[in-house]
Amino acid sequence: MKIGIIICDRYQSCAGGKCFRSMQNREGAFDIYHQDEVLEIAGYTTCGGCPGGNIEYSPEEMIKNGVEAIHLATGFVVGYPPCPYIADFKKLIETKYKIPVVIGTHPIPQKYYIIHNELKTWDTDEWQKLIKPTVANETIRLAYD
């Protein structure tokens, strides 16, 4: 299974370590894949900055390289403020490119989980649905701090 990852541009210098580790460990949003399924990162880029100009074009190149699913990295939901376009990105990519989009990569680090709960950032049904794949449990969240 070939995976593409799109990260928030504010984290453009991110080396991807937490995403790659969570993919190998099948944690966070990667827990949907069976441990025996071979996963390969076949595309990794940023959204291009607000409002996500690269979202319109990068999935096409990823698909040409065999990508079968695209993950919008956890940074989209843990940054402050969280990406206001994330649901639109998912809808556009799935509609235009007919490829599944998963919200998240690695589990939400505990420090982000705490502050967003204090700020009530994710206190809507929509945000609860968006963060669900990456909430994990406290032990796992601490491992990603």
Distance CA 65, CA 61 (A): 6
Instruction: Give me the pLDDT at residue 51, please.
Output: 95
* Bond prior to 100 in cis (omega within 30° of 0): no
Distance CA 131, CA 135 (A): 6
Q: Where are the domains of the chain?
A: 2-143
How far apart, in Å, are the Cα atoms of 17 and each of 20, 24, 71, 73? 5, 11, 15, 12
CB 69 within 8 A of CB 102: yes
Which residues are paired to 130 by β-bridges? none
Nearest to 86, CA basis, from 68, 102, 62 = 102
- The tens place of each residue's pLDDT in the chain, 145 residues long, gives 999 999 999 999 999 999 999 999 999 999 999 999 999 999 999 999 999 999 999 999 999 999 999 999 999 999 999 999 999 999 999 999 999 999 999 999 999 999 999 999 999 999 999 999 999 999 999 999 9
Tell me, yes or no, if the pTM score tops 0.85: yes
CATH code at 2-143: 3.40.50
